[in-house]
Amino acid sequence: MERSLYRAHVERVLSVGHAEAPATDTIERSWMRCIQEHALDPSRPVPAHIVDSRQLREHREQIEGFLHVARTGMEQLYKRMSPLGYVLLLTDAHGITVDHIGDDTRRAELKGAGLYLGADWSEARAGTCAVGTCIVERAPITCHRTEHFNPSHITLTCNSAPLFDPTGEFLGVLDVSALSSPSARESQYLALQLATMCAQTIEDANFLRFYADRWVLRLGSAWSMVEVSAQMMLAFDGDGVVVGANTAAREQLATDDSPLVGRALTEVFREDLDTLWRIARAGMSSERSALTTQDGRMFYASVQPPRVARRAAKPSGEAVEAPRSHPALEALAGDDRQMRRLIEQAGRLASKRLNILLHGETGTGKEVMARALHAASDRSVRPFVAINCAAIPESLIESELFGYSTGTFTGAKNRGKTGLVLEADKGTLFLDEIGDMPLHLQTRLLRVLSEKEVQPLGANRPTPVDLTVVAASHQDLRRLIAEGRFREDLYYRLCGAVLTLPALRERQDLAFLIRKILAEEAAELGCRAEPDPAAERALLAYEWPGNVRQLRNVLRFALAVCDGETITEDDLPAELMAAGLRDATPAVAAQLVTRAERRAETEAAELLDALRRAKWRITGAAAELGICRATVYRQMKRYGIVPPNLVG
């Protein structure tokens, strides 16, 4: 920066900042706040402040559900603005950048300027800037070059629009910035308008997500556009009471004395509820589908029904749809509270359009969880493609993932190869041990996820791809980020949601898992057997460092070597017995015995209930419990269960 330009900037800011008269515009008001309230000095350039990964994670978690919605809108906008050199930032209400899209080739330059993930653009930290001043003013703003307070930023040009949540609370800022731009401030008019329009689109998409279980009234001045681009939206319940309104509706239909939320629609419009339900039944808006406000303004209308099951009954009196069950997920756990919470979360996430990151020790069942998520999703009829990033040689992983065209390299197939990413189109791509993926392939994967297209090696043009990614790792990815071995932006692209599988030693449903896996392995081997009390105590006593995978291997071994239908201690691997009940203290042994007794009580109750439901037909009870008749007879004898016709 030229010294004269720098000096002129500082003098101008100081003259306004120390003035006693009220500021004349938004920028000057901000300069005054920076000096008088934040005690900032325009003559001291301050570098961009990037928060650490822990702080960034905390800020992202606060608006986790909103991030995916916002990202979709940002990607659409970036496709239009990237040729002009713009960068997109999404900040939370505190000014922390929780998402960004920019040119990867200029990563270092963007990070140095603060146009990067984790940058703090609050006015108190960065001075006058589009984001920080937008947070204060709650209105769209351009901060062009020397309008910035901090001299470090006066080469930047930034355009910001506020974002509000469905309840009207300030949520964050969408920012469109460039490292350099034409000197005329008017050059940013279009960028500001696009940022504002995109912010409204993101808000409305988030509104529909938030109120997916409610009726939504869409209003507009042109009937042909109401279905696709409504100006105003009101969410309401089955009684016609407003429960939410988007920003445009709050601005046009609410007053200081009469807010919208909590009011009946008949208080807002002249028409009665029957008219509203008639519009709802019509399905599509028409010139006859119109509502008039109490002050005489007319808007064309359509009504969108709830898209998911909810608590209240529909106006037609139809029964409410029961929550969807997910057998594949339900089968993963017994009565362990931690796992039941995890399964409930997984069920809600399964069909959502966001990527999921699975954490857990080796052998905890991350791939099993990934397959269950796929089976529980609306993508279950599409491919599930699993890739172990640690198992494929680095020299082959690029061609395996992205494929290649004909004749790309020596030894390539004559017809080329469809990569695994494309094979997972419209389905689920499972990336196991994602922490072992080479850095240069992380960059390619990031581009696939952001652009939703993949370009095989040697191909001239990319191919669109629609997929959901479930990634897994037993490593601490944040530590890998700190070591420079994993891309931070890819991490946040993958962790739309994070599910952590507990170690087997932490679970309270070990007895359930033993029964379940034993039945699965027995069916695979074409046999049937159960552990005797001593073997069961040994299985319950072991710490299982290899987790579920090790448990499965041990039970498969026991089934293979046992004689008849009973597994004894002698049928268990020696290393397990060495750490089992034989070496346990009396207190631990007592606990294990108590656990086994409780398991026996539960098993006896389940058997008795099954027998009663089957009217004491052994075949029916055996079929329900998934065991053979001989096992039913043996358990009846063990637990002293006697059919009613034999009593006395």
Residue 2 has pLDDT above 90, yes or no: no
pLDDT at position 4 is 72
**3 state DSSP class of 167:** coil
485 contact partners, CB below 8 Å, separation of at least 6: 435, 439
How many Cβ atoms sit within 10 Å of the Cβ of residue 126? Answer: 27
The CA distance from 213 to 421, in Å, is 34
What's the mean pLDDT in 504-530?
87
Residue burial 615-628, b: 16+ Cβ < 10 Å; e: rest: eeebeebbeebebb
Binned at pLDDT 50, 70 and 90, residue 639 comes out as: confident
What letter would DSSP give residue 645? G
DSSP secondary structure string, 296-310? Answer: S-EEEEEEEPPSS--
What is the rounded distance in angstroms from the CA atom of residue 261 to the CA atom of residue 100? 33
Q: Is the pLDDT reported for residue 358 higher than 90? A: yes
Task: Dump pLDDT digits (tens) for 362-387.
Answer: 999 999 999 999 988 888 888 899 98
Instruction: Report whether 174 contacts 163 (CB < 8 A).
Output: yes
Tell me the percentage of the chain whose pLDDT exceeds 90.
Answer: 32
In this predicted structure, the answer to whether residue 263 has a pLDDT above a threshold of 60 is: yes
d(CA 284, CA 576): 66
Q: What mean pLDDT comes out for the span 259-266?
A: 85
pLDDT by residue (tens digit) across 65-114? 788 889 889 998 998 898 999 999 999 999 999 999 998 889 899 999 99
> Alpha carbon of 394 to those of 255, 410, 449, 473, 618: distances in Å?
63, 17, 21, 18, 56
Q: What is the mean pLDDT of residues 293-312?
A: 78
Mean pLDDT across 393-409: 71
Residue type, 172: G
Task: Please say if the pLDDT value at position 454 is more than 90.
Answer: no
Q: Is the pLDDT of residue 357 over 80?
A: yes
Q: Residue 283's pLDDT is what?
A: 55
Cα–Cα dist 461/454, whole Å:
9
- Which segments of 422-578 are extended strands (E)? 428-432, 453-454, 463-464, 468-473, 497-500, 530-531, 566-567
Tens-digit pLDDT profile for residues 591-629: 544 555 666 677 788 888 888 888 888 888 887 877 667
pLDDT at 636: 83
pLDDT number for residue 286: 46
Average pLDDT, the chain: 83
What pLDDT, on the 0 to 100 scale, is given for residue 416? 63
Would the pLDDT of 285 be above 50? Answer: no
Above 50 in pLDDT, residue 318?
no
Distance CA 602, CA 341 (A): 22
Contact 161, 199 (CB under 8 A): yes
- Select from 468, 520, 486, 548 the least CA-distant residue to 68: 468
Give the pLDDT confidence score for residue 168 in this predicted structure. Answer: 81
Name which residue leads in pLDDT, 352 or 428. 428
Identify the band that residue 406 occupies on the pLDDT scale cut at 50, 70 and 90: low
Residue 322 has pLDDT above 50, yes or no: no
Going by pLDDT thresholds of 50, 70 and 90, the confidence category of residue 581 is very low
Beta strand 356-359 pairing with 497-500:
parallel
What's the pLDDT at 164? 92
The pLDDT assigned to 408 comes to 53
Q: pLDDT value at position 606?
A: 86
- Of 488, 451, 495, nearest to 469 (Cα)? 495
**Model pLDDT, residue 188:** 95
Neighbouring C-beta atoms of residue 479, cutoff 10 Å: 12
The answer to whether the CB of 203 falls within 8 A of the CB of 73 is: no
Which pair of structure tokens corresponds to residue 504? 């087997």
Domains and CATH numbers, the chain: 3-205 (3.30.450.40), 211-304 (3.30.450), 327-502 (3.40.50.300), 505-646 (1.10.8.60)
Residue 474 scores a pLDDT above 80: yes
- pLDDT band of 634, cuts 50, 70, 90: low
The Cβ of residue 207 has, within 10 Å, a number of other Cβ atoms equal to: 24
- Say how far residue 264 (Cα) sits from the centre of its chain: 34
Res 148: pLDDT? 95
Per residue in 121-147, pLDDT (tens digit) is 999 999 999 999 999 999 999 999 999
pLDDT for residue 315 is more than 60: no
* Contact yes or no for 334/511 (Cβ under 8 A): yes
